[in-house]
Amino acid sequence: MRRTSFRAITVATAAATLLAASITAATAGAAAGSDKPDVSGYAPGMVAAMERDLGLTTSQAVARMKTDEALSEKQHAIAKALDKDYAGAWVDGTELFVAVTDKAGAAEARAAGATAVTVDKSLGQLDRLATKAFRAAPEATVAGAYVDVESNAVVMEVAKGATADVAAAVQRAGIPAGSVSLVEVAEMPRTFINVIGGNAYYIGGSRCSVGFSVTGGFVSAGHCGDVGNTTTSPSGTFRVSSFPGNDYSYVNTGTDDTPIGAVNDYNGGTVNVAGSTAAAVGATVCRSGSTTGWHCGTIQALNASVTYAEGTVSGLIRTNVCAEPGDSGGSLLAGTQAQGMTSGGSGNCSSGGTTYFQPVNEALSAASVSLITGGGGTPTGCTGEETSFSGSLSSGSFAYKPGSTGFSALTGTIEGCLDGPSGADFDLYLQKSSSGSWTTVAQGITSSPDESVTYSGTSGTYRWVVDAYSGSGSYTGGYSTTP
């Protein structure tokens, strides 16, 4: 295991009010090394993440969260009271520091239990300076700007070699010397995006939809862009594009974007992509696109041809599923099998219409790429349990199974299993209800996507918590009870 296991996690229905006294109580609990720290109000996996990333014990993690929350409440109250004299605050261990611009404010901060630091500029003044400096500098050279409350100054992060240009721009803007600190960064910031079928992407001023995630990027419609065109959200480059004649493309995305083997169902979840077996005429199919979302119909013909203003496209799937501009390139599924990408047609999603789709397998072959399946891996286990469950989660979220109210079990053994998407880290918790709160009584928290839990307990109400500790995708699971 990569996490320190502990015997119990309590998830209360509501977090208790945090008072300053909780700082002392929490710290004392950490010092005592309690093996059952109270983590009321925190999502499953939060304590484990702090153990891993901050090198803390369970008790230390709980103590830090309670201390930080209590100090944050105190900081908000002080900031409101100081108003324009307030210059920011920061926490160091169990001590709250408050920056103020005059002696009266310092006295007020100390009376509220904080350590006062007298500075020259208020937080409002610094925020205005940061905005002015950011706007004055050439956009391409500035990674970001923020207020460093401890130094009572503005910090601007700039690209390598751009310090002199940015400094000159800041000076021309009339910003006082010494008010802005310039720091060169090794790399400029970028976004991190999960590439999911049906989601929007942009080509200049145009919008299309992702078809399916494939190795190195995604496939979409050829009429969305030519070879060499670039995309944003996610960022990428068209490496293959064929239109007219065909209507497919392959966009190679950056290493910071993660292709996910799933399609957006525009109902708060995703549909797992398991393969690309072609469906027959008459089969039910559903389409996902960034303009009109999720719509279904049937296949009317295969190997169809259609003539657009730009020319004829052949070998298409003809359907009675509706679509509208912006849905182009989006995913067509038969169950969990990828069929094709939205090409074009007639009508709309108000009155209905005819839509043609470029078969996905032809695009995969032309681009020499492979389909990403199963949210990164197809869940196949957990099929022998009495009760099954399934779903889809994005990284950092969690779900209750079979629901938040749980299930009843007699004294005996409860077994559960979870099969998550490969490449992800999904965890499984078993919780028991007691006096209005839920307590974790067993857990599977390895670094793999798959978990199993066995627990011998007394009769009561239980529930499972599926936690997407890291990574996103579809999962299956199940559980059995044996008296």
Calpha distance 231→208 (Å, rounded): 10
Burial status of residue 335 (CB atoms within 10 A of its CB: 0-12, 13-18, 19 or more): middle
DSSP H or E stretch at residue 107: helix 103-111
Burial status of residue 241 (CB atoms within 10 A of its CB: 0-12, 13-18, 19 or more): buried
Integer CA distances (angstroms), 11 to 67, 69, 434, 441, 479, in order = 18, 17, 11, 11, 21
Residues with catalytic roles: 223, 247, 328
* Identity of the amino acid at 446: T
410 backbone dihedrals φ, ψ, rounded to 5°: -85, 170
Closest CA to 143 of 184, 194, 109, 91: 184
Count of all residues that appear for the chain in the document:
483
Integer CA distances (angstroms), 375 to 270, 275, 302, 398, in order = 9, 12, 28, 16
CA triplet 422, 425, 428: central angle to 5 degrees?
A: 110
